[in-house]
Structure 1
Amino acid sequence: MRLVVTGREGQVARSLVERAHARPDFEVVVLGRPELDLAKPETIAPALAIARPDLVVSAAAYTAVDQAEDEPDLAFAVNGAGAGHVAEATARIGKPVIHLSTDYIFDGGGERAYTENDKPAPRSVYGASKLAGEHAVAKANPRHLILRTAWVYSPFGRNFVKTMLRLATDRDEIAVVADQWGNPTSALDIADAILHLAAMLYGNKGFASFGVYHFAGTGETSWSGFARHILDTSQAFGGPYARVRDIATVDYPTKAQRPRNSRLSTEKFRSVFGWTAPDWPGATSRVVEQLLTRRISNG
């Protein structure tokens, strides 16, 4: 099965390439700029047609959350209209699309994990642009799976795990927000889930459970709890370590508002697809170990 993924350097794209190495039934092709640029709609359909996908994973996105407040037009062009053009081009060649979205489409004011039935209410340009993308994808291609996820990390690209390890190399203490809660999610686990979905779609031409789903790591924590686990794991493997000091959101102001509650219920995903993400502490430990092993092997 040939999976074509938009967003060559993204965490999910790179994780899909890595996970597919152990799956000879899958061929993963990644597309990015300049041949496919979501800000240039004219590039999208030709690039996808040439790639000849059995399924498209729409992972490319504008992800600079704070910068989006100053570049709303670009954020909406990429995350909104661009995502819609990918879905439209995919529908034109008669294929399904799996589109990645985010917890930022919620305002974070709830006291429980959000379900797919909860009303979106983004509080940032980034969140609003991703919600626009969801609507555009659903309108353009009825054969869509929209996966909302949260707090994504991996051995690739920029993410919270790598930031904590970097800061711990020259600091004794790191201040981390303690009043925002969510589900840390490994991009490697997202990749495994996508491969699971792709196999189901490929083997079931009558698949009818298209729509919106939440997929996130099992279990919840705060950013500071996440940081402590990362650094405790690093110390256990002989890597950098620093103490974590709890602070409040008001002590770490950002241009874009972050959801206080980013927890996502994955019960619908589990019941439909028979798949549950690993617990976040174990998944995090595996990524930390992988990062430290690569650092050692690279000198």
Structure 2
Amino acid sequence: MTAALRDERLDHGITVVDTGFVRAQFDAAYLVVQEGRAAVVDTGTNAAVPRILAALAAQGLEPADVEWVIPTHIHLDHAGGAGLLMQQLPRARLLVHARGARHMVDPSQLMAGVRAVYGDEVVRRDYGELVPVAADRVVPAEEGMVVQLAGRPLRVIDTPGHARHHLCLWDEASRGCFTGDTLGVSYREFHNGRWHYALPSSSPVQYDPAALRESVARLLALRPALAYVTHYGAVAEVEAQADMVVRQSDAMAALAQELREAGDFEQRLREGLREIYLREAKARGVGLGDAEILALVEPDVELNAQGLAVWIGR
């Protein structure tokens, strides 16, 4: 039976909105509400827009109450619905990493890259077309920039590693950080009261393990009480998740370097990634069978292998 989509209200006016992308509790948008004003952090794809608007309405808010839409980066599971959502939000501005801003105004190059990775059929089925955002509504984000939500400061942290156009957002009110993919992915199937497992995301095409290590260290220096992870939900074990992600990212990079001259590079790389993820998950005491663990991480094996291949090629 397919799990039902369900939003989750947290403290400090934060709601986890299940976008429904791929499956329930896989991809989150975050609604931050302060004194009747709202910001949306990450948007999911176009299909998530009705869910975000419904989450607003459930809190008695109107589309005009949204002041900011803030994708952590421009990959379509995080920003694919931004343009369509902005059409519904008359007062909102789009805050996006300066490296990604032009792609929100003219998404043609971005969409071409997405098609090159996933193919036309997958793009039509899972993502749709990214709707352009008017240039005068786009605010390029730089390191240290602070935007205000009804007096609540949200601070931009430049966090390359997963992508050069990646930012995280520090929320002093909750002592939490919206981390996008910088702290990897921690699917709810890998999370309960007895275990917690997360793995890195090196999806194409800008993965950089050294930059990721530095970005994670900068986040930990803030001593966050919570990480609001796009895949998926609020994580209290921030340091443990960071350690897991960096350790595995380093192992992934070492594996790619070791195999770079191998004739069967792609096959052996995928096999090695499966071994890394299974070993780490079992070390964390994940109470799932090997086959179930491998089935959950298989999409990441494929995308991470592609991203590692691009990185090692550079």
**Do Structure 1 and Structure 2 share a fold, with TM-score over 0.5?**
no
Q: TM-score, normalised by structure 2?
A: 0.31
> Which structure has more RCO (C-alpha within 8 Å, separation ≥ 6)?
1
